[in-house]
Amino acid sequence: MTEQAPGRRRTGLMVFAWLWVALPFAYGVYELFRKVVQLFGG
Amino acid sequence: MAVGFLDRSRIVASSGWSRWLVPPAALAVHLSIGQAYAWSVFKPPLEKTLGLTGTESALPFQLGIVMLGLSAAFGGTLVERNGPRWAMFVSMVCFSSGFLLSALGVATSQYWLVVLGWGGIGGIGLGIGYISPVSTLIKWFPDRPGMATGIAIMGFGGGALIASPWSSQMLGTAPWSIGTVATAFLVHGLVYAVFMTLGILLVRVPADDWKPKGWEPKTDHGNAMITTANVSARNAIRTPQFWLLWVVLCFNVTAGIGILEKASPMIADFFRETSTPVGTAAAAGFVALLSLTNMLGRFVWSSTSDLVGRKNIYRLYLGVGALLYLVIALTTNASKLVFVLCAMLILSFYGGGFATVPAYLKDLFGTYQVGAIHGRLLTAWSMAGVLGPLIVNAIADSQKAAGKVGPDLYSTSLFIMIGLLVAGFVANELVRPVNPKYHEPASSGEPARSEAR
């Protein structure tokens, strides 16, 4: 048995799952850069 | 009901299941439990509202790291037996319950509930959650195990990247009220429960005969292997190599965790008397920066160790780490940039130490029971979780009581960290190939071989 290409039904799940973790992470990165400016900019 | 739903047999992937659905499942857990690294954001509000010292407010973090190491060391067999969904569920229940108990503890001014909740019960969630997706990802990505474990371990390192600003915004600025802090704990517990549930629902294990398309297992690992012999977990803890690496990991982690746990108040104290003091928001930015380098160090330095060798990379972590601490001790608050850069590098070495040690163990003891050996080695993390914060907080508290301010609160701690890193460096130098008397009998077609690197 080998890995098969994900079916169309699972594409939505794939997008949802990655957005679930990527969006909070993107928020963290965004806030990081905002805070870095505050850290060095006073 | 729950036993069936959580059972390993219920999550064997169907033939069309994409393995790329497993990393977000792992990340849902590791990005959550990585919140532990942002504990320092909770310290000032807890100290102000409950009248705690720095040493006291470090207790939940210390206990949490102890429980993390112990549950990872002794829960590995259960995790393997029951599967990742069970492990993620247990992790979610413990981690979220820890926050809920902490909310109750703050609301009723019973600080022991915070220690028991976040540190004790939540710490079990940290340990079980830490090991659950790692082994599952290795099984899904036998062609790229480093990348796969890197995703999970980076997720743990990056959890504070999310938690640090989120917790800070929820807590607001001083003066804090008991209601604000209790509510923050409550919301954290509920939100993390929902967030981790995706991992519980999504995680799958591959079928026994599954393999990636077009991939065949290698029979000869070439120069990536130091030894082709195997040592059992029982024998490994009888070797000096295991205990030398235990010291290496413990002291490397102690040096990093001392800064990490105290990061927010430490940078504020360092630059309080300067023309550019660091406010609460900027201090949270410092915590986030450390989280970022902690996360990136896990991937970058561990990958580099494949090229330069494990022993050499630990020379970098421990030797350069000691020099960086010396730079901080000598320059004190002369330059915010130098302070931040040194701390960032130290934390990248801290993360790198975690990520590289499984490969170091695999080099020395083979693949036979490397997971179990790794679990036992994580007790060094538990010890470091006590040592690092204890050293930094106890000394800072005693210096504060003596009327000292600014960098003077930390100078003694910095020199202690240098000593620990030098001791770790020496331990790393003493690591040699394992005596063949500890090797398991060589299986057919797999001769024992050792080579120094």
| A8 min Cα distance to partner chain B (Å) | 11
Tens of pLDDT, residue by residue over B71-90, are 888 887 777 778 889 999 99
The answer to whether residue B453 sits within a structural domain is no
Q: Which residues contact B33 (CB under 8 A, 6 or more apart)?
A: B91, B95, B125, B126, B129, B130, B156, B159
| C-alpha Rg value of chain B to the nearest Å | 22
Query: In this structure, are B275 and B387 located in the same domain?
Result: yes
B24 contacts A39? CB cut-off 8 A: no
**Disruptive mutation site among B27, B88, B196, B287 for chain A (greatest number of A CBs within 10 Å):** B27
Q: Does some domain include residue B186? A: yes
Instruction: Determine whether the interchain pair B210/A38 forms a contact, defined as Cβ–Cβ distance below 8 Å.
Output: no
Per the domain annotation, does B449 fall within a domain?
no
Q: What is the structure's pLDDT at B366?
A: 76
- pLDDT for the residue numbered B416: 93
Residue B322 and residue B278 in one domain: yes
Q: Which of the four pLDDT bands, split at 50, 70 and 90, describes residue B449?
A: very low
Report if residue B217 sits inside a domain.
Answer: no
- Among B145-154, B257-266, B375-384, the minimum mean pLDDT is found in B145-154
Write down the pLDDT at residue B67.
92
Q: What is the mean pLDDT of residues B278-285?
A: 78
Looking at residue B452, what is its pLDDT?
Answer: 30
Task: Using pLDDT thresholds of 50, 70 and 90, give the confidence band for residue B444.
Answer: very low
Question: What pLDDT sits at residue B296?
Answer: 87
Chain A contacts of B199, Cβ < 8 Å?
none
Q: How many angstroms separate the CA of residue A13 from the nearest CA in chain B?
A: 8
| Residue A36 touches chain B, beta carbons under 8 Å | yes
User: Is 80 exceeded by the pLDDT of residue B367?
Assistant: no
Residues of chain B that touch chain A, judged by Cβ-Cβ distance less than 8 Å: 15-21, 24-25, 27-28, 31, 155, 158, 161-162, 164-166, 195, 198, 202, 207, 209-214, 276, 278-279, 281-282, 284-286, 288-289, 292, 336-337, 340
Q: CA B137, CA B439: separation in Å to the nearest integer?
A: 28
Q: Report, as an integer, the average pLDDT of B422-430.
A: 96
Give the nearest partner residue to A39 out of B202, B213, B285, using CB atoms: B285
Which residue, of B149, B181, B208, is where some domain finishes? Answer: B208
Residues B61 and B168 both lie in one domain: yes
Q: What is the mean pLDDT of residues A24-37?
A: 82
Residue B302 confidence (pLDDT): 79
CATH classification of the domain holding B13: 1.20.1250.20
In a domain, B445, yes or no: no
Q: Which domain holds residue B198?
A: 1-208
Q: Are residues B277 and B319 in the same domain?
A: yes
In this prediction, residue B245 has a pLDDT band, given cuts at 50, 70 and 90, of very high
Q: Same domain for B287 and B161? A: no
Tell me if chain B has a CB within 8 Å of the CB of A18: yes
Which residues, 6 or more positions from B149, have their beta carbon under 8 angstroms from its beta carbon? B134, B137, B138, B355, B358
Residue B276 sits in the same domain as residue B412:
yes
Residue B297 in any domain: the answer is yes
**Beta carbons of B428 and B318 less than 8 angstroms apart:** yes
Residue B218: the pLDDT is 60
Nearest to B161 among A2, A29, A39 (CB): A29
* pLDDT bucket at B272, cuts 50 / 70 / 90: confident
pLDDT given at position A41 = 61
Can you give the pLDDT at residue A40? Answer: 66
* Interface with chain A: mutation pick from B20, B154, B197, B339, highest number of A CBs within 10 Å: B20
Residue in chain B closest to A18 (alpha carbons) equals B24
Inter-chain residue contact A17 with B165, CB threshold 8 Å:
no
Residue B329 lies in a domain: yes
Q: How confident is the model at residue B69 (pLDDT cuts 50, 70, 90)?
A: confident
Q: Is A28 on the interface with B (CB under 8 A)?
A: yes
In terms of CA atoms, which chain A residue is nearest residue B163?
Answer: A28
Tell me how far CA of residue B19 lies from CA of B142, B153, B176, in angstroms. Answer: 11, 18, 45
- State the smallest CA–CA distance between residue A18 and chain B in angstroms: 6
Structural domain count of chain B: 2
pLDDT digits (tens, 9 = 90+) for B116-135: 999 999 999 998 898 777 76
| Alpha carbon separation from B111 to B66, B172, B186, B242, B343 (Å, rounded) | 18, 21, 15, 38, 30
User: Is the model's pLDDT at B445 over the cut of 60?
Assistant: no
Per DSSP, the three-state class of B450 is strand
Residue of B nearest to A28 (CA): B162
Minimum-distance CB partner of B281 among A1, A5, A35: A35
Nearest CA in chain A to B209: A1
Q: What is the mean pLDDT of residues B84-107?
A: 96
Q: Domain boundary at B208, B237, B254, which?
A: B208
| Residue B74 and residue B190 in one domain | yes
Residue A36 near residue A28, CB atoms below 8 Å: no
Q: Could you tell me which of A15, A34, A4 has the C-alpha nearest to residue B284?
A: A34
* Contact criterion met (CB < 8 Å) for A39 and B214: no
On whether both B72 and B167 belong to a single domain, the answer is yes
Q: What is the rounded average pLDDT for all residues in chain B?
A: 85
Question: In this structure, are residues A3 and B210 in contact, taking their beta carbons and an 8 Å threshold?
Answer: yes
Nearest to A17 among B24, B164, B284 (CB): B24
CB-CB under 8 Å, A32 with B165: yes
- Inside any domain, residue B257: yes
Same domain, B408 and B364: yes
Q: What percent of chain B has pLDDT over 70?
A: 91
pLDDT of residue B146: 61
Q: B320 and B199 in one domain? A: no
Going from the C-alpha of B392 to that of each of B87, B254, B263, the distances in angstroms are: 33, 10, 11
Structure tokens at B128: 């079980």
Most confident of B165-169, B289-293, B373-377, B421-425: B421-425
- B161, B192, B339, best to mutate vs chain A, most A CBs in 10 Å: B161
What pLDDT sits at residue B220? 53
Greater confidence (B353 vs B405) lies with B353
Domain stop point among B148, B177, B208: B208
Q: How confident is the model at residue B105 (pLDDT cuts 50, 70, 90)?
A: very high
Does residue B384 or residue B81 have the better pLDDT?
B384
Of B185, B344, B333, B134, give the one whose Cα is nearest residue B260. B344
Considering CB atoms only, which of A5, A24, A34 is closest to B162? A24
Contact A1 B19 (CB under 8 A): no
> pLDDT at residue B303 above 90?
no
pLDDT at B448 over 70: no
Rounded to 5 degrees, what angle do the CA atoms B186, B191, B195 make?
A: 150
For B180-233, the pLDDT digits (tens) are: 999 999 999 999 999 999 999 999 988 888 888 887 766 555 544 456 678 888
Average pLDDT of the segment spanning A5-34? 85
pLDDT digits (tens, 9 = 90+) for B157-179: 778 889 988 998 899 887 889 99
> Are B99 and B16 contained in the same domain?
yes
Q: How confident is the model at residue B390 (pLDDT cuts 50, 70, 90)?
A: confident
Same domain, B189 and B250: no
pLDDT at residue B446 tops 50: no
